Chain A
Amino acid sequence: MQENRFVIKNAPFLRGKEDIKSIMWTVVVALLPTTLWAIYLYRYRALTVILSCIIFTEIFEMIFLKIRGVKNVFEKAFDGSAFITGLLLALNLPSTSPWWMCAVGSFVAMLFGKHIYGGLGNNPFNPALIARVFLLLSFPSIMTRWTTGVNLTAQTFATPLGMLKTQGLSSVSNLDYLKLFFGFPIEGIGGGSIGEISEFAILIGGILLIFRRIIPFIVPLIYISTVFVFTWIFNIIDPTKYASPFFHMVTGGLFLGAFFMATDMVTTPITKKGKIIFAFGCGLITSLIRLFGAYPEGVSFAILIMEAISPTIEKFTKNKKFGE
């Protein structure tokens, strides 16, 4: 019997089956209903945006992995994390976004959102959100050029949240909330980012993630209910000025943010109490921006602001030890 035939590794010798890849690709699958609905509504335009974002994100991911001297570049680049960033970025852009803007966004996401901090697991902000906000500030006109779903002409319209902000409550008082919830296009109304049009599609994916224990249900629940309660209070105070809470549920990026971005593992608090505070803060800031801010929508800003204070939240929400 030869010596050293046995491998020395650290206990435990049995490990669970879930790995980074399975988590990341499950998130991608959960985004499929939303993605497919976007492609159905916006056809080749959505497809161009989605493919450009994913391809450029993967390319920049590989380049920066290589520069950082990471081994197994190809394997790491397809662990699903960069794919999610690319897809999420695409879902946060208008259908009319040109491919080169997608490329710029992908570059910003990978460099300033991820690799500059040391790559996966070390980034303080969600890379897709960093890129979206960068694009919103750099190309404000392209980033607010909305079309009505299948309407592939050049004609653009304001989103319901935009109309509410600029034209007042009466302009959106006749909207069919159910149609908005399921994401059917309404003539003369801008659909918003390609991924935020159908709350229903997002919900399907979100429930999958909750069911697979990849995201905790508490985060979207608290985030969405906070927005609901907050907007409801103002709706009660002055129903002629403030929209119904149901309006706020079915418009903008609330669901996409609550299910797919406020639940980002890397950039949100790791403790359960921390997650609750984080989600509540997101809901509060989103509502404040929507009701009183200069921008019609506040989901991206709300999540980024809360991500900035996430380490602090985490520090003050230490778990109770058993027997303490």
Chain B
Amino acid sequence: MAKLYTFGKSGVLPEERKELTEDKKIERFEAKDLIFLSINQHIGAPAKSLVKEGERVLKNQIVASGEGGVTSIVHSPVSGEVVQIKSMVFPGEIKNDVIVIKNDFKNEKVLGTEEKREFKKDKEKFINEIKNGGIIGMGGAGFPTYVKMTPPKDKKIDLFIVNAAECEPYLTNDYRVMLEFGDEFLSGISLILDNLDIPKAIVGIEENKEHAFEKLQKSNSDKRIEFKLLKTKYPQGAEKQLIYALTKRVVPIRKLPFEVGVIVQNVSTVKAIYDLITFNKPLTERVLTCSGKGINEPKNILAPIGVTVSQIAEFCGGIKDNCRYLINGGPMMGKPFSDINLPITKTTSGLLFLTDEEVNIEEENPCIRCGRCLSVCPMGLNPTYLKEASDRREYEKMDDVLDCIECGSCSFICPASRDLASSIVKGKQKYSKYLKRGK
């Protein structure tokens, strides 16, 4: 038994429920007649549509692009005609423009090769390709990858960490990618180390994915890559907690990982970088886990970005009558969907169709000050105090909300079923606005 790494005593142990899909091979889902591309799939300035209604687009063509330091680019996964640009409402009442493309099934493309291409080591070109390839963090946050790869000049990066914790229950997409695209994944890591001049990589994998850990370790030939087993605990894959678990380096409060010489990327992102650099394929598809007791055939799927929830649900045998919750992402941090006509995005790691049997959210009760939320908070915050302050807009008591990583451990553990995390997340928005207003 290898040594198990972890981030300390905080965190929680939700039921893993990965058995629904962990042994299911990734199935390719081909685009149907309509594709819905949100222009705002990432953190940062939203992209703007570069195409007009009626315009013909090719596969891999850029259809939306943003301006500014932190933004991203969206490519079409199919060739066809732009039939409409409309506004759709995403969770949290966020309205985004969506480019609707009618697939002509001709698959005419502008980028992408079948043959591997040679990529000569070139840091600037590498990062630029990643920017133009529309690659963003695919673990869920959607932070543009090129920004992560360009730390300030005075920060020396000596370690690349691959986040293969996949600590969210149900999700098995990263696990399947590591099992089925292991060589591509490992080559992706090597490419990143080569081009960014990083001497070493650590792949952190949770213990419940030991199979992938062993398989990768066996097939790996790059001596710079080390594999470490993490204790199965939530939120083991939270960036700062993961860095601490693997290296004991502590990212200072409100700072980014490069402060301690680290860049972290998720498994699927590494695979996307490999596809981009090797086959010149921009990010237009991803592997996601479609699971839960509310769907007939839970599966791991390789799907084009922009296909709808209803199309995927149909591919998985349809939604069961007792399905009551639809979640984009994992059950701990995912967003609730009410509309099955919404599309998946680059950050959709999972689509969960859950029943009342699986979701046990009770009515909120008064806080009994048991202190469980304090002891599980991986950031060492006082969630019950911050919830009160956030609900009452007591700005002078709210500063710590900015340190919340929104993992939801507090709400998970609360015996009074209080929605601590969601209140604090809302408090974050309120407090940020308050700070912008200049107090």
Contact = CB atoms under 8 A, between A and B. Distances in A.
Interface of A: 1, 3-20, 22-23, 81, 119-122, 265-266, 270-272, 318-324
Contact of B336 (A11, A20, A22, A120): A11
A16 B361 contact: no
A15 B368 contact: no
- Which of A18, A119, A270, A272: most chain B Cβ within 10 A? A270
* 3 A-B pairs with the lowest CB-CB distances in the bound complex, closest first: A10-B422, A12-B408, A121-B366
Given A10-B422, A319-B380, A321-B381, A16 B12 contact: yes
Contacts of A320: 380
Given A14-B332, A14-B359, A272-B374, 6 more contacts: A10-B419, A10-B421, A15-B362, A16-B413, A120-B366, A324-B380
Contacts of A270: 369, 371, 374, 382, 384-385
B360 A322 contact: no
A8 B338 contact: yes
Nearest to A21: B415
B381 A22 contact: no
Given A6-B325, A14-B332, A319-B374, A266 B252 contact: no
A322 B358 CA distance: 32
Given A322-B240, A322-B250, A122 B366 contact: yes
Nearest to A274: B371
B338 A321 contact: no
B369 A265 contact: yes
- Which of A16, A17, A23, A265: most chain B Cβ within 10 A? A16
A212 to B, nearest CB: 12
Interface in B9-59: 12, 14-15
B208 to A, nearest CB: 16
B261 interface: no
- Which of A3, A119, A324: most chain B Cβ within 10 A? A324
A322 B380 contact: yes
Interface in B333-388: 333-340, 352, 354, 358-362, 365-372, 374-375, 378-382, 384-385
Interface string B240-261: 1100100000111111000000
B369 A266 contact: yes
A27 to B, nearest CB: 11
B329 to A, nearest CB: 8
Interface of B: 12, 14-15, 169, 240-241, 244, 250-255, 310, 319, 323-327, 331-340, 352, 354, 358-362, 365-372, 374-375, 378-382, 384-385, 400, 403, 408, 411-417, 419, 421-422
Nearest to A319: B380
Given A19-B362, A19-B417, A265 B252 contact: no
B369 A11 contact: no
Contact of B253 (A7, A16, A119, A322): A322
Contacts of A10: 336, 361, 411, 419, 421-422
Contact of B381 (A121, A122, A319): A319
Given A10-B422, A11-B332, A14-B360, A321 B412 contact: no
Nearest to A119: B366
A320 B8 CA distance: 14
Contacts, number: 157
A12 B362 contact: no
A323 B366 contact: no
A265 B371 contact: yes
B299 to A, nearest CB: 20
A10 B12 CA distance: 18
Nearest to B376: A16
A12 B421 contact: yes
A13 B325 contact: yes
Contact of B335 (A1, A11, A22, A323): A11
Given A13-B334, A19-B416, A271-B374, A323 B411 contact: no
Given A270-B382, A319-B381, A4 B338 contact: yes
A14 B369 contact: no
Contact of A12 (B333, B337, B416): B333
Contact of B415 (A5, A13, A18): A18
Given A15-B412, A265-B368, A321-B403, A1 B251 contact: no
A323 B371 contact: no
B331 A12 contact: yes
6 contacts: A11-B331, A12-B408, A14-B331, A16-B412, A266-B368, A319-B381
A23 B372 CA distance: 12
- Which of B324, B365, B370, B379: most chain A Cβ within 10 A? B370
A310 B252 CA distance: 31
A169 to B, nearest CB: 41
A122 B408 CA distance: 24
Contact of A15 (B250, B403, B411, B422): B411
Contacts of B310: 1
Contact of A323 (B14, B255, B384): B255
A7 B250 CA distance: 39
B250 A323 contact: yes
Contacts of B331: 11-14
- Which of A1, A3, A11, A324: most chain B Cβ within 10 A? A11
A270 B325 CA distance: 34
Nearest to A121: B366
A323 B365 contact: no
A324 B334 CA distance: 28
Contacts of B375: 272
Given A4-B338, A20-B415, A15 B360 contact: yes
Contacts of A15: 360-362, 411-412, 414, 417
Given A14-B14, A266-B369, A9 B382 contact: no
Contacts of B352: 13
A1 B311 CA distance: 13
A6 B337 contact: yes
B40 to A, nearest CB: 20
B257 to A, nearest CB: 11
Given A15-B361, A120-B368, A319 B382 contact: yes
Contacts of B360: 14-15, 17
B354 A20 contact: no
